[in-house]
Amino acid sequence: MRTFSLALRNLLRNRRRSLTTLFAMVIGTVTILIFGGFSRDITYGLQTGYVLRGGHLQVQKKDYFLYGTGNPAAYGIADYQKVIDVIKVDPVIAPMLTVVTPTISLGGIAGNFAAGVSRTVVGSGVAVEDRNRMRQWNDYNLRINILPSPLTGSAPDAVVVGTGVARVLELCETLAVPNCVAKPKTQEPAGPGAPADITALVQLEARPAVKRDEARIELLAANVHGAPNVASLRAIKAERQGFKEIDDMFIGMHLAQAQRLLYGSEKPQATAVVLQLVHTSQMPAARARLEELLQTSLKGEPLEVQDFEALNPFYGQAIGMFAAIFGFMAVLIGAIVLFTVGNTMSMAVFERTTEIGTLRAMGLRRAGIRRLFVCEGLLLGLIGAVSGVAFALAFAWLINHGGLTWQPPGTVDKSPLTVRVWGEMRLMLVTGIGLTVVSVISAWWPARRASRMMIVDALRHV
């Protein structure tokens, strides 16, 4: 304790230099924590968006992830309800679950033949009530307000399209899509309805009467046997999907409608069983248990488990990019602190050469001299780290309550700009301890040089 007391007095002897060094350390700590909190908030936001749409884990037929998008009907899970029932009653997985629900992905061609336009689309068939419960997941208490699915309470033939699909199919006016630029008319519309062959396919189903103000589209898809199947659908809303590539191809529909398109009158299937967990941290345990079930209770059908990170490669790429930036900033700021503290301690050694010689002449050993200067560096690091964390928390509070907004990647609307520092104990501890260690390392070399001074040379130093 006496050494620390002397080290503190020595720091107070030259307050201006000590405060300058502490200021540099505080700025470095605040920079690391604010950027770390910002990147952590982006991580949680991206993760929440993917989990809301596709859950944490998906049980799929083997190789669907590799080849299923080309022919989803051939990779359907025949007895998907059994899979759901087994998962729901499993004593290990059941407590972790919020939702387990089937889903269907399909590709096809959507046409608004009254306008003479069509385009390729990717459809998603969902159980609407299950999806509404999935939209309530918010494990990280983000400031988000996800409304229920527009398909809630809608007719079986209702669909939701991406705004890009609405624009290409010239449905902007009918669906009241804001900021939707209509395509310039270069030719006359093809006619009042679908071609005869498409109409004949549609008439195989019970097609409801078309109203003048309805946005009707025909969706052509290949069924499980490769034959074309057509459904007449009513677009009830256009929603932005965040990514233009998805927005230009997305069609969401009821699960039963998607099953009719792919499987017709045959037994309906699902291309995936989606699991949403209470906490993301439960993914490893839930996945391990699912792998066990696939080898025991669900051994009859070749199935595999995919997590949301594998299904959404952009998530891993974004997290890796921010981790690389954060690491680069941490190394850069660590180097600045290293040289700043090192320069401060070198100046202290130079100015106190006579004092060092006096202490050595009074019997203080070389280890004592080293310990004294290293303690000064340690105190600088501790005070700088604690002050930096305090200032970072204050700045984070100001940012979080400043009313700033931005549009994160993968989202459709602007979100409050927030920085997650409070509660991130690991981030604060690693940053504080790291800068303290850098400060101690910076002080060690000047301390070593001070301890190796010859007593006579130090005493006659002017």
Structure confidence by residue, pLDDT tens digits, 57-72 = 999 999 888 888 778 8
Give the least confident one: 99-108, 163-172, 252-261, 404-413: 404-413
Binned at pLDDT 50, 70 and 90, residue 190 comes out as very low
Mean pLDDT across the chain, nearest whole number?
A: 83
Give percent of the chain above pLDDT 70.
85
Q: When comparing pLDDT for 254 and 415, which is higher?
A: 254
pLDDT tens, position by position, 99-156: 999 999 988 899 987 788 889 999 999 999 999 999 999 998 887 778 889 999 999 9
Determine the distance from the C-alpha atom of residue 94 to the mean position of all C-alpha atoms in its chain, rounded to a whole number.
Answer: 25
Give the pair of three-digit tokens for residue 105. 């992905």
3-state secondary structure the chain: CHHHHHHHHHHHHCHHHHHHHHHHHHHHHHHHHHHHHHHHHHHHHHHHHHHHHHCCEEEEECCHHHHCCCCHHHHCECCHHHHHHHHHHCCCCHHHEEEEEEEEEEEEEEEECCCCEEEEEEEEEECHHHHHHHCCCCCCCCCCCCCCCCCCCCCCCEEEEEHHHHHHCCCHHHHCCCCCCCCCCCCCCCCCCCCHHHHHHHCCCCCCCCCCCCEEEEEEEECCCCCEEEEEEEEEEEECCCCHHHHCCEEEEEHHHHHHHHHCCCCCCECEEEEEECCHHHHHHHHHHHHHHHHCCCCCCCEEEEEHHHHCHHHHHHHHHHHHHHHHHHHHHHHHHHHHHHHHHHHHHHHCHHHHHHHHHCCCCHHHHHHHHHHHHHHHHHHHHHHHHHHHHHHHHHHHCCCCEECCCCCCCCEECCCCCCCCHHHHHHHHHHHHHHHHHHHHHHHHHHHCCCHHHHHCCC
Mean pLDDT for 309-333 is: 89
* Rg for the chain, CA atoms, rounded: 32
pLDDT at residue 196, as a whole number: 56
What is the C-alpha separation between 103 and 101, in angstroms, rounded?
7
Q: Where are the domains of the chain?
A: 2-47+316-459, 63-301
What is the C-alpha separation between 22 and 384, in angstroms, rounded?
5
| Paired strand residues for 416 | 405
What is the C-alpha separation between 100 and 85, in angstroms, rounded?
9
What is the C-alpha separation between 381 and 28, in angstroms, rounded?
12
Binned at pLDDT 50, 70 and 90, residue 391 comes out as very high
Give the least confident one: 86-90, 93-97, 296-300: 296-300
pLDDT tens, position by position, 268-314: 999 999 999 999 999 999 999 999 999 988 887 899 999 999 998 88
Instruction: Kindly give, in sequence order, each residue whose CB lies less than 8 Å from that of residue 176, ignoring residues fewer than 6 positions away.
Output: none
Give the least confident one: 114-123, 152-161, 206-215: 206-215
pLDDT at residue 246, as a whole number: 84
Identify residue 291 by its one-letter amino acid code: E
Residue closest to 411 by CA, chosen among 201, 144, 213, 95: 144
What is the C-alpha separation between 461 and 356, in angstroms, rounded?
10
pLDDT tens, position by position, 350-371: 766 766 677 667 766 767 777 7
- Contact predicate 106/221, CB 8 Å: yes
What is the C-alpha separation between 327 and 323, in angstroms, rounded?
6
Q: How many Cα atoms occupy the beta-carbon half-sphere of 238 within 13 Å?
A: 25
Phi, psi of 217 (to 5 degrees): -135, 155
Binned at pLDDT 50, 70 and 90, residue 211 comes out as low
Whether 234 shows a pLDDT value over 90: the answer reads: yes
Q: When comparing pLDDT for 412 and 172, which is higher?
A: 172
pLDDT at residue 97, as a whole number: 94
- Contact predicate 261/227, CB 8 Å: no
